[in-house]
C-alpha cells in the first residue's frame, strides 16, 4: 500500500470521526388498493446526533414538494442520550408515516429527509434522504356493454357486421377485458383498422357459402314483394293467422279501401335469405385506452363479427374484467333479442276532435332468455293508405304525436315498424275520433248568431230611420 493511499484512508477516518456518517433507506411497498391504510417506513443509520426528520409528498411531476410530517429532535427528550457527541455510537432509527384510506391523489413519490449535527460544529447539519413511489391501484368503477352504430335497420338480403362495445371506467392500472358467449370464452383475433375488407375474416371462404344477390334470388324477391303494402312495407306474412277487422261499421260488399283494409294486429317479419353463415363465426377484437382526469383509465373493448339473426338471436354475451384490485371478475351481460309483439297505447283513450293524441310503444313480448330488446330498436311510424297528419311519409321515435286531430282521421290506421339488426316486426292500431261537444256547440252558436244578425239587420235599420224622422 502506497503512502498516498494510506494518507487518504487516514483522512477519511478522521473526516468520518469529525463529521459522522448517515445512511437513509425507505422500505419498499407493493402496489396498494385505494381505501387501504398504508405505512411508510424510513430507516436511517448514524453515529451522530439526530437533528430532524422531514417527510415530503412530491407533486406536480417533481417540481413541488408538500411537507406532510416533521420531527425536531431539539425539542424531544427521547434522544437526550445522544448529547455526548464525542462518544462514537452506531445507532439505527426508524420513522414511520401512516396514510389512512389512501386515494388516487396519494399516488406518487415520497421522500424522507434526515439531518444530523456536524461533529465539528453544532451549527452545521449533515443531510441525507431516501425516496419511494407509492403506487395506488383503483378497481374499475363501472362496466357497460353497448352496440355500436345503433339503432339500425334490419337487413333481409345482406349480411351485416355487428359490434359490441364494452366500456370499463375508473381502473388503474388498465384492466384486462375479454368476452364470453353463453358462458364460453370467445376465441378472438386481433383487428386493426388497416386491415383490408377482404382480409377481416368476417366471412371465411372455406366455411361459408358465397352470398346470393337479389338479382340471383328471384324467387325470394318475388315472394317478398307479394307481401308489400302501398308504402312498400310488409303488411301480412302469416297467412294462417285469423284475420281481425278494425272497422266499426258493418262490412259491405264493396272492396275495402286502404283506410278500412283488414290487417293483422301484429306481423312478425323475420324472413331470411338462402345464404348460409357459419355456425362458428370469426370474432375480431380491438381495444383502446384513454387516461381520465383523475389518473384512472377508461378501456373500450370492441368485439366484431358477422351477425347471423337465426343463430345470434337470444344469445348471451358477457364482458368480463380482471384487475389486481378486484377479488373476482367484474362483468356485464346483454342478450341479443329481436323485437316481437310491440304493445301500443293511445292517449287519451277517447280521443275527440281537436285533441292531441299520443300513440306510444309501451313494451314487447319477450322471449324466455331476454328481458329487453337489444340492441335498441328503431321505431318507424306510417299511416296506412296515406301520409301522416303533418304530410310526412314516416316518423321516427317511440311516440307518434298527432296534434289537433280532425274528424277526417276517424278510422285511420297507423303502422308502427320496430326493427333492429336481428329482426323486424309490425303492429297496427286504428284511431277512433269522437265528436267534441264543445266544438260542436261553439259551431252552432256561431251559425245561429250569423243567421239572427242577418234577420235583425233590416229591422234595426228601419227602426233607426223612423226615430230619425220623428226627431227632425
Statement: residue 310 has pLDDT above 50: yes
Statement: residue 459 has pLDDT above 60: no
User: For residue 27, what pLDDT is reported?
Assistant: 93
User: For residue 72, what pLDDT is reported?
Assistant: 84
What is the per-residue pLDDT across 40-97, written as a single tens digit (0 to 9) for each?
999 988 877 888 899 999 988 778 899 988 888 777 644 333 344 334 445 678 889 9
CA distances (Å), 319 to each of 31, 141, 180, 201, 328, in order? Answer: 26, 15, 6, 22, 14
User: For residue 457, what pLDDT is reported?
Assistant: 53
User: For residue 368, what pLDDT is reported?
Assistant: 72
Of 335, 345, 347, the C-alpha closest to 427 is: 345
Strands ordered across the beta sheet of 330-335: 184-185, 176-181, 316-322, 330-335
Would you place residue 298 in the very low, low, confident or very high pLDDT band (cuts 50, 70, 90)? very high
Q: What is the CB-side half-sphere exposure of residue 253 using CA atoms within 13 A?
A: 0
The C-alpha atoms of residue 338 and residue 423 are separated, in whole angstroms, by 5
User: For residue 164, what pLDDT is reported?
Assistant: 96
Asked if residues 42 and 130 have their Cβ atoms less than 8 Å apart, the reply is: yes
Would you place residue 6 in the very low, low, confident or very high pLDDT band (cuts 50, 70, 90)? very low
Percent of the chain whose pLDDT exceeds 70: 65
Statement: residue 10 has pLDDT above 50: no
User: For residue 93, what pLDDT is reported?
Assistant: 82
Taking the alpha carbons at both ends of the chain, their separation in whole angstroms is 156
Statement: residue 182 has pLDDT above 90: yes
User: For residue 126, what pLDDT is reported?
Assistant: 86
Interior angle at CA 421, CA 418 and CA 426, nearest 5: 20
Question: Which pTM value belongs to this model?
Answer: 0.65
User: Residue 346: which residues within 8 A CB-CB, separation 6 or more?
Assistant: 357, 358, 359, 360, 429, 431
Amino acid at each position: 500500500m502506497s503512502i498516498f493511499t494510506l494518507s487518504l484512508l487516514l483522512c477519511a477516518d478522521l473526516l468520518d470521526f469529525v463529521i459522522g456518517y448517515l445512511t437513509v433507506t425507505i422500505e419498499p411497498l407493493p402496489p396498494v388498493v385505494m381505501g387501504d391504510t398504508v405505512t411508510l417506513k424510513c430507516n436511517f443509520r448514524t453515529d451522530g446526533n439526530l437533528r430532524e426528520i422531514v417527510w415530503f409528498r412530491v407533486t406536480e411531476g417533481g417540481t413541488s414538494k408538500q411537507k406532510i410530517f416533521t420531527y425536531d429532535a431539539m425539542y424531544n427528550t427521547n434522544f437526550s442520550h445522544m448529547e455526548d457527541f464525542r462518544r462514537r455510537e452506531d445507532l439505527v432509527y426508524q420513522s414511520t408515516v401512516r396514510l389512512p384510506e389512501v386515494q388516487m391523489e396519494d399516488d406518487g413519490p415520497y421522500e424522507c429527509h434526515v439531518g444530523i449535527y456536524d461533529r465539528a460544529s453544532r451549527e452545521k447539519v449533515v443531510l441525507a434522504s431516501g425516496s419511494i413511489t407509492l403506487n395506488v391501484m383503483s378497481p374499475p368503477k363501472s362496466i357497460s356493454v353497448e352496440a355500436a352504430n345503433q339503432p339500425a335497420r334490419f337487413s333481409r338480403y345482406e349480411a351485416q357486421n355487428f359490434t359490441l362495445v364494452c366500456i370499463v371506467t375508473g381502473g388503474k392500472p388498465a384492466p384486462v377485458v375479454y368476452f364470453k358467449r353463453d358462458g364460453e370464452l370467445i376465441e378472438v383475433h386481433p383487428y386493426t383498422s388497416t386491415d383490408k375488407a377482404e382480409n377481416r375474416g368476417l366471412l371465411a371462404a372455406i366455411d361459408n357459402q358465397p352470398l346470393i344477390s337479389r338479382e340471383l334470388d328471384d324467387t325470394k324477391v318475388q315472394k317478398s314483394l307479394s307481401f308489400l303494402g302501398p308504402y312498400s312495407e310488409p303488411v301480412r306474412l302469416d297467412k294462417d293467422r285469423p284475420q281481425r277487422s278494425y272497422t266499426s261499421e258493418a262490412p259491405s260488399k264493396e272492396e275495402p279501401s286502404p283506410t278500412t283494409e283488414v290487417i293483422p294486429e301484429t306481423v312478425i317479419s323475420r324472413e331470411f335469405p338462402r345464404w348460409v353463415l357459419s355456425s362458428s363465426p370469426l370474432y375480431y377484437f380491438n381495444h383502446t385506452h384513454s387516461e381520465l382526469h383523475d389518473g384512472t383509465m377508461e378501456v373500450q373493448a370492441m368485439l366484431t363479427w358477422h351477425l347471423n339473426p337465426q343463430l345470434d338471436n337470444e344469445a348471451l354475451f358477457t364482458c368480463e374484467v380482471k384487475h389486481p384490485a378486484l377479488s373476482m371478475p367484474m362483468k356485464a351481460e346483454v342478450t341479443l333479442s329481436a323485437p316481437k309483439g310491440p304493445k301500443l297505447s293511445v292517449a287519451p283513450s277517447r280521443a275527440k276532435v281537436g285533441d292531441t293524441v299520443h300513440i306510444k310503444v309501451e313494451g314487447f313480448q319477450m322471449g324466455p332468455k331476454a328481458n329487453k330488446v337489444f340492441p335498441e330498436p328503431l321505431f318507424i311510424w306510417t299511416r296506412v293508405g296515406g301520409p301522416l297528419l303533418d304530410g310526412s311519409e314516416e316518423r321516427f321515435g317511440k311516440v307518434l304525436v298527432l296534434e289537433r286531430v280532425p274528424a277526417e282521421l276517424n278510422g285511420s290506421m297507423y303502422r308502427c315498424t320496430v326493427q333492429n339488426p336481428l329482426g323486424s316486426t309490425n303492429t297496427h292500431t286504428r284511431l277512433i275520433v269522437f265528436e267534441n261537444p264543445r266544438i260542436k256547440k261553439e259551431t252552432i252558436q256561431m251559425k245561429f248568431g250569423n243567421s239572427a244578425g242577418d234577420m235583425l239587420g233590416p229591422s234595426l235599420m228601419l227602426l233607426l230611420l223612423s226615430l230619425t224622422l220623428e226627431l227632425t
